[in-house]
Amino acid sequence: MNKGYIHIYTGNGKGKTTAALGLSLRAICAGKKVFFGQFVKGMKYSETKSVEYLPNFEIEQFGRTCFIDKEPEKEDIECAKVGLEKCREILEKGDYDLVVLDELTIALYYKLFSLEKVLELIKNKNKNIELVITGRYAPDKLIEIADLVTEMKEIKHYYNSGVKARKGIES
C-alpha cells in the first residue's frame, strides 16, 4: 500500500473545509472510504447531509455551537476531547483511507486539547491513512511534520460587504 501523507489547509481565506470536502469526494469516487471529523462545529451545515448521498463517507461533529466570539465552555472542551479520542481510534485502526480533522487547528488555538495529544495521534496513525487537517492558525510543529501545506489567503470576500453565509456555498 501507499504511504498516507499529511495535508494541512490553513490560513485566513475561505476554502479550507471546502478543499477537504473536494478531496473527500475525489477519494470516494475512487472507491475509498472517508471519515470527516469536524471540531468546534455543531451547526448543521449542508455537508452533514452528505452521508445520504455518498457511499463510504462518514461525518461527525465534535462541537456544540459557535463560541468563536467568546471563551469555550466546559462542554465545548469535553466535546473536543471526546472527538479527538474517537479520531485517535479511527486513525490507529485503519478502516478508512482518508481521514479529515476539520478545524482541528482552531480547536488547538482555543486550547480545547494540547498540541502534544495531536502530535501523538499523528505519530501513531496507521501509515496507510491519508490525513487532512484544516483550520486557521496551524502551529509550526504541525506544519513541520506535514507533507503538504496549503495556505488559503483572503484577498477579497463578499462577506466584508455584508453578504451572509449562503446555504450550499458557505453553509
User: How far is the C-alpha of 22 from the C-alpha of 101, rounded, in Å?
Assistant: 14
Question: Which domains are seen in the chain, by residue range?
Answer: 6-161 (3.40.50.300)
Looking at this protein, which amino acid is placed at residue 2?
N
User: How far is the C-alpha of 50 from the C-alpha of 29, rounded, in Å?
Assistant: 14
φ, ψ of residue 70 in degrees (nearest 5) = -145, 180
Q: How is residue 3 written as a grid cell?
A: 504511504
Per residue in 99-133, pLDDT tens? Answer: 999 999 999 999 999 999 999 999 999 999 999 99
Range from 24-28, 31-35, 63-67 carrying the lowest mean pLDDT: 63-67
What integer is the mean pLDDT of 131-148? 98
Cβ contact 103:134 at 8 Å: yes
pTM of the model: 0.93
In the predicted model, is pLDDT for residue 165 greater than 90?
A: no
The more confident residue out of 68 and 157 is 157
In the predicted model, is pLDDT for residue 1 greater than 60?
A: no
Range from 10-19, 23-32, 63-72, 143-152 carrying the lowest mean pLDDT: 63-72
Per residue in 59-99, pLDDT tens? Answer: 999 998 766 667 888 999 999 999 999 999 999 999 999 99
Q: How is residue 57 written as a grid cell?
A: 463517507
Q: What is the DSSP letter of 27?
A: H
Q: Could you tell me whether strands 34-39 and 57-62 are parallel, antiparallel, or unpaired per DSSP bridges?
A: parallel
In the predicted model, is pLDDT for residue 45 greater than 70?
A: yes
User: How far is the C-alpha of 74 from the C-alpha of 19, rounded, in Å?
Assistant: 31
Q: Count Cβ atoms below 10 Å from residue 116 Cβ, excluding itself.
A: 9
Query: Which residue in 4, 19, 3, 6 sits closest to 147, CA to CA?
Result: 6
In the predicted model, is pLDDT for residue 21 greater than 70?
A: yes
Looking at this protein, which amino acid is placed at residue 52?
E
User: How far is the C-alpha of 30 from the C-alpha of 16, rounded, in Å?
Assistant: 21
What element of type H or E holds 143? Answer: helix 140-145
Q: Count Cβ atoms below 10 Å from residue 115 Cβ, excluding itself.
A: 14
φ, ψ of residue 99 in degrees (nearest 5) = -125, 130
